[in-house]
Chain A
Amino acid sequence: MDPAQERAIEKLLEKVEKPARYTGGEMNTQVRPWNEAEMHFAFCFADTYEIGMSYLGMKILVSLINSLPYMSCERVFMPWVDFRAGLKEKQIPLFSLESRKGLNEFDVIGFSLQYEMSYTNILDMLDLGHVPVRAADRGENDPLVFAGGPCACNPEPLAAFFDAFQIGDGEEMMVEFLDTLHACRKEGLSRSETLMRLAQIEGVYVPRFYEPSYHADGTLSAFTRTDERAPETVRRRILKDFSNAFYPDTFPVPYTDIVFDRIVLEIMRGCTRGCRFCQAGMIYRPVRERSMDRIIELAEKLEAATGYEEMSLSSLSSGDYSCLKELIVALMDRFQEKRVSVSLPSMRVDNLVKQSLEELSRVHKSGLTVAVEAGTQRLRDVINKGVTEEDVLRSVTDAFDSGYSTVKLYFMTGLPTETDEDLRGIGDLARKVVSAYYSIPKERRAKGLRVTCSASVFVPKPFTPFQWAAQDSIGTVMEKQSHLRDYLKMKGVTFNWHDPSLSFLEACISRGDRRVGEVIYTAWRDGCILDGWSEHFKYDVWLKAFEKCGLDTAFYANRERPYDELLPWAFIDMGVTQRYLQLENERAKKAQTTKDCRKGCNGCGLQRYEGLCNV
């Protein structure tokens, strides 16, 4: 930035909400000075600072990239509307927090894709950073822009905007990717040749080497390579040695409040449960645990480096970690004197032993969260959610007995085969939870019962057994929500629901094809940004964008797709096979459950690769 721009930024900071979002300088974020790195990486998060800074994947990757001797990695977040307007007005490019360099000054720009409804922010950030938004418009000297993260498993809606995608675990792939890019730079390869080299890396997808074609009815007819050197199938990158994989031993410590302001220890990746709606449960297979020794070592280093008073154990299903109890006890023994509390964010009810609840409450007392997902056993069987009513009631009773009075129950509406009976089931369960509280003698239970029932709207996701399913129309969802509101009218219970229009668009985009990219572009150009923030969500502009592009929302969201339809993400081998997903979908229709694969392999597809799945 030149001095005039610096001055303008300082003036702008005086006027905006939460200026500390833009100033950086936090503990443990100092990287090498700009001039000391050969290549510069802008790690972008398409949402605000408070959200991005809470995201573990960013901490892992920023730290990993900075560990490469030739790299420096700086952070860039989506600015809030006030700061964004100021940047535009003064023509200051969106800049990194560390060195205040415009996005256009970086060699590589990497986005983490967490949520479909943040896609317009990506376009906006590139544009604010003075980087051409479309990959096709970027020249030899423009930054290379790529993305990774869970939503990259269907990269097609964003294919027009990214030069490349990283699909799968990033720890090893990122290093290979950057090493390759570094070598290409040294050799002076062209952009296109560089991308072809990158495309050879397992997990990397370069959209420009592929081309979709469509049937008259709009479905995909073929997905072909435009260059035979690109791989026919993009195979997801899977980290084998999870225990010894890179993990940061310092975390940035923000000055201001962020959503999760604590040490996060990822104890396990993947999940063996096989819930049929859950994309994470399918795309992070197989389950891999980090060793207890390694977790404790990291916990000690992180505590010393951050001074945080709280650490949480994170994974899709921490309760399944083989020596969870031993781990919690070991951590508490080590850290109690230092007044560090230990928490498990997603506790599973079915294996949550009362004792570990008591262990937890020794240091930290928060509410109990139970993801029940569906109101009847039949529907829970359809989605293969292995939780029974007895499990739920036993664990809430235990929790009430150990002095908790706040319980959160999570449900989904619009699941395949859902009927009114399933909705009533949610009300019945809530009633039983309330009675469980009153069954504890008054002296023993904590005051102020609060049961929160949250109902999200089911969004069918790629690479799940429900990837072919139709989403309920908005009208149907609203009707169901209003019934639920009635069923949940009772003392001590509050009901939260999601905006169905947001979930509807999420469904359109998550299973979208390359043409949906034009819709995203149009919506953004017509003013959509920060769609995940209800005050900025412009549903009508989105609908118009679909119209302008000649695409039908129902085609993407509300249509049941036949098995023989070519899916836009079918060229990716996620590990789990399409055949297995189909089998699971058929079992769902019959309400047949599939066992947890710790009890025996179900043949999901990962077993095809020697030595990968060691469940």
Chain B
Amino acid sequence: MKIWLTMEKGARIRFTGHLDLMRTMQRALRRSGLPVRYSQGFNPHMLLNAAAPLSLGMPGLREIIEVPVGEEITPEAFQERLNAALPPDLRCRAARALPDEHAAPMALLRAARYLMDLDEEQQASAACVAALPGMLAADTLPAVRKTKTGEKPCDVRPMIYEAQAMGPHTVCATLALCEAGTLKPDLFLSVLAGLAGVDKPDAFVTRLQLYAMQDGALIRLEES
């Protein structure tokens, strides 16, 4: 059996890197005494499986982490005991029990929704928000993606599932996040700023939700 945890990584600890966060989870699980399964072999370790690492500096409200467990336990009990052992800025919002055969969260992940708070002191911010309808109306959005092997031209339009203005300096967008293609909020903002003819404003980005795909529609990853 395995448990999918829906975790909130708070704004205060947004600079905790992925590996540090995994170590924090491991220590919390140790403190909780929950029946987590370890790997076999010489140096046994917990087999935690995160859907997608968060970028440094980005809080996440509903991040999925999979934990294999050795004994039957109700998800409610798991969540409660884990929360008692977690530091205050890392919370377990939900837990779900799944059979071991169920696909890993990473395999099902297709997209993520982000909240981008643009710096209200920068004029570029309002211009970006104003350029949003134009961006969505475009058929193609050529951009240059930086990859490990260099710069690659690409079209980011198909990677934008939806986007909307949430206020004079705030944008919300659902962007592709999977093996086949990922559009990072940073590049999204660069393209948007390019359309608006301004420099990319500073933004405080929060990852709100992860999604899987079912019958051609996005569904919440924790429900997939």
Interface residues of A (CB under 8 A from B): 10-11, 13-14, 19-20, 23-28, 30, 253, 255-257, 304-309, 338-339
* Interfacial residues of chain B within 23-57, with CB under 8 A of chain A in the complex: 24, 26-31, 44, 57
> Which residues of B are found within 8 Å of A14, using beta-carbon distances?
57, 202
Task: Judge whether A30 and B88 touch: CB under 8 Å.
Answer: yes
Task: Judge whether B88 and A25 touch: CB under 8 Å.
Answer: yes
Task: Judge whether A253 and B88 touch: CB under 8 Å.
Answer: no
Question: CA A305 – CA B26 in complex, angstroms?
Answer: 13
Task: Judge whether A23 and B27 touch: CB under 8 Å.
Answer: no
> Which residues of A are found within 8 Å of B161, using beta-carbon distances?
none
**Nearest CB in chain A to that of B24: its residue:** A255
User: Quick one: which of B15, B20, B21, B24 has the most chain A CB within 10 A?
Assistant: B15
Question: CA A303 – CA B24 in complex, angstroms?
Answer: 14
B93 part of interface (Cβ distance < 8 Å) = no
Question: CA A130 – CA B158 in complex, angstroms?
Answer: 53
**How many residues of chain B have a CB within 8 Å of chain A?**
24
Question: CA A526 – CA B57 in complex, angstroms?
Answer: 35
Task: Judge whether A307 and B13 touch: CB under 8 Å.
Answer: no
**Nearest CB in chain A to that of B85: its residue:** A307
> Which residues of A are found within 8 Å of B12, using beta-carbon distances?
23-25
Binary contact track B73-87/A, C-beta < 8 Å → 1, others 0: 000000000000111
> Which residues of A are found within 8 Å of B44, using beta-carbon distances?
339
7 additional contacts, CB 8 Å, given A20-B13, A23-B15, A28-B87? A10-B204, A13-B15, A14-B57, A19-B15, A24-B12, A26-B87, A255-B87
B190 part of interface (Cβ distance < 8 Å) = no
Task: Judge whether B15 and A304 touch: CB under 8 Å.
Answer: no
CB A401 to nearest CB in B, in angstroms, measures 22
**Nearest CB in chain B to that of A339: its residue:** B44
Binary contact track B168-191/A, C-beta < 8 Å → 1, others 0: 000000000000000000000000
B89 part of interface (Cβ distance < 8 Å) = yes
CB A10 to nearest CB in B, in angstroms, measures 7
Question: CA A257 – CA B23 in complex, angstroms?
Answer: 10
Task: Judge whether B31 and A25 touch: CB under 8 Å.
Answer: no
Question: CA A560 – CA B89 in complex, angstroms?
Answer: 57
Task: Judge whether A256 and B16 touch: CB under 8 Å.
Answer: yes
Question: CA A597 – CA B57 in complex, angstroms?
Answer: 56
Known A256-B20, A257-B20; contact A305-B31, beta-carbon cutoff 8 A? yes
CB A263 to nearest CB in B, in angstroms, measures 12
> Which residues of B are found within 8 Å of A256, using beta-carbon distances?
16-17, 20
> Which residues of A are found within 8 Å of B57, using beta-carbon distances?
13-14, 19
Interface residues of B (CB under 8 A from A): 10, 12-13, 15-17, 20-21, 24, 26-31, 44, 57, 85-89, 202, 204
Question: CA A132 – CA B87 in complex, angstroms?
Answer: 36
Task: Judge whether A253 and B27 touch: CB under 8 Å.
Answer: yes
Known A304-B31, A307-B31; contact A255-B20, beta-carbon cutoff 8 A? yes
Task: Judge whether B16 and A307 touch: CB under 8 Å.
Answer: no
Known A256-B20, A257-B20; contact A25-B13, beta-carbon cutoff 8 A? yes
From B16, B30, B88, B202, contact of A255 by CB (8 A): B16
Known A26-B87, A256-B20, A257-B20; contact A307-B30, beta-carbon cutoff 8 A? yes
Question: CA A13 – CA B204 in complex, angstroms?
Answer: 12
CB A318 to nearest CB in B, in angstroms, measures 25
> Which residues of B are found within 8 Å of A306, using beta-carbon distances?
27, 31
**Nearest CB in chain A to that of B45: its residue:** A339
The 3 closest A-B CB pairs, nearest first, are: A307-B27, A307-B30, A307-B31
**Nearest CB in chain B to that of A18: its residue:** B15
Question: CA A387 – CA B88 in complex, angstroms?
Answer: 49
Task: Judge whether B13 and A23 touch: CB under 8 Å.
Answer: yes
**Nearest CB in chain A to that of B119: its residue:** A11
Task: Judge whether B28 and A307 touch: CB under 8 Å.
Answer: yes
User: Quick one: which of B30, B44, B86, B88 has the most chain A CB within 10 A?
Assistant: B30
**Nearest CB in chain A to that of B14: its residue:** A23
**Nearest CB in chain A to that of B44: its residue:** A339
Complex A-B: 16 CB contacts under 8 Å? A14-B202, A20-B13, A20-B16, A23-B12, A23-B13, A23-B15, A25-B10, A25-B89, A28-B87, A30-B88, A253-B24, A255-B87, A256-B16, A256-B20, A304-B31, A306-B27
> Which residues of A are found within 8 Å of B20, using beta-carbon distances?
20, 255-257
CB A82 to nearest CB in B, in angstroms, measures 14
Question: CA A255 – CA B202 in complex, angstroms?
Answer: 26
Question: CA A256 – CA B24 in complex, angstroms?
Answer: 9
Question: CA A159 – CA B27 in complex, angstroms?
Answer: 43
Question: CA A19 – CA B26 in complex, angstroms?
Answer: 22
User: Quick one: which of B12, B13, B21 has the most chain A CB within 10 A?
Assistant: B13
Question: CA A255 – CA B90 in complex, angstroms?
Answer: 11
**Nearest CB in chain B to that of A19: its residue:** B15
CB B45 to nearest CB in A, in angstroms, measures 9
> Which residues of B are found within 8 Å of A20, using beta-carbon distances?
13, 15-16, 20
> Which residues of B are found within 8 Å of A255, using beta-carbon distances?
13, 16, 20-21, 24, 87
Question: CA A338 – CA B27 in complex, angstroms?
Answer: 12
Question: CA A304 – CA B85 in complex, angstroms?
Answer: 10
Question: CA A27 – CA B83 in complex, angstroms?
Answer: 12
> Which residues of B are found within 8 Å of A26, using beta-carbon distances?
87
Question: CA A257 – CA B13 in complex, angstroms?
Answer: 14
From A19, A27, A338, contact of B87 by CB (8 A): A27
> Which residues of A are found within 8 Å of B202, using beta-carbon distances?
11, 14
CB B119 to nearest CB in A, in angstroms, measures 8
Question: CA A542 – CA B114 in complex, angstroms?
Answer: 51
CB A594 to nearest CB in B, in angstroms, measures 46
Question: CA A13 – CA B12 in complex, angstroms?
Answer: 11
CB B34 to nearest CB in A, in angstroms, measures 11
> Which residues of A are found within 8 Å of B30, using beta-carbon distances?
307, 309, 338
Question: CA A410 – CA B89 in complex, angstroms?
Answer: 43
Question: CA A26 – CA B28 in complex, angstroms?
Answer: 12
**Nearest CB in chain B to that of A10: its residue:** B204
**Nearest CB in chain B to that of A24: its residue:** B12
CB A135 to nearest CB in B, in angstroms, measures 35
**Nearest CB in chain B to that of A26: its residue:** B87
> Which residues of B are found within 8 Å of A28, using beta-carbon distances?
87
Known A14-B202, A27-B87, A30-B88; contact A308-B13, beta-carbon cutoff 8 A? no
> Which residues of B are found within 8 Å of A338, using beta-carbon distances?
30
> Which residues of A are found within 8 Å of B204, using beta-carbon distances?
10
Question: CA A80 – CA B12 in complex, angstroms?
Answer: 19
**Nearest CB in chain A to that of B32: its residue:** A307
CB A8 to nearest CB in B, in angstroms, measures 10
Question: CA A28 – CA B88 in complex, angstroms?
Answer: 9
User: Quick one: which of A23, A306, A308 has the most chain B CB within 10 A?
Assistant: A23
> Which residues of A are found within 8 Å of B17, using beta-carbon distances?
256
User: Quick one: which of A25, A304, A307, A338 has the most chain B CB within 10 A?
Assistant: A307
Question: CA A24 – CA B29 in complex, angstroms?
Answer: 21
> Which residues of A are found within 8 Å of B15, using beta-carbon distances?
13, 19-20, 23
> Which residues of B are found within 8 Å of A10, using beta-carbon distances?
204
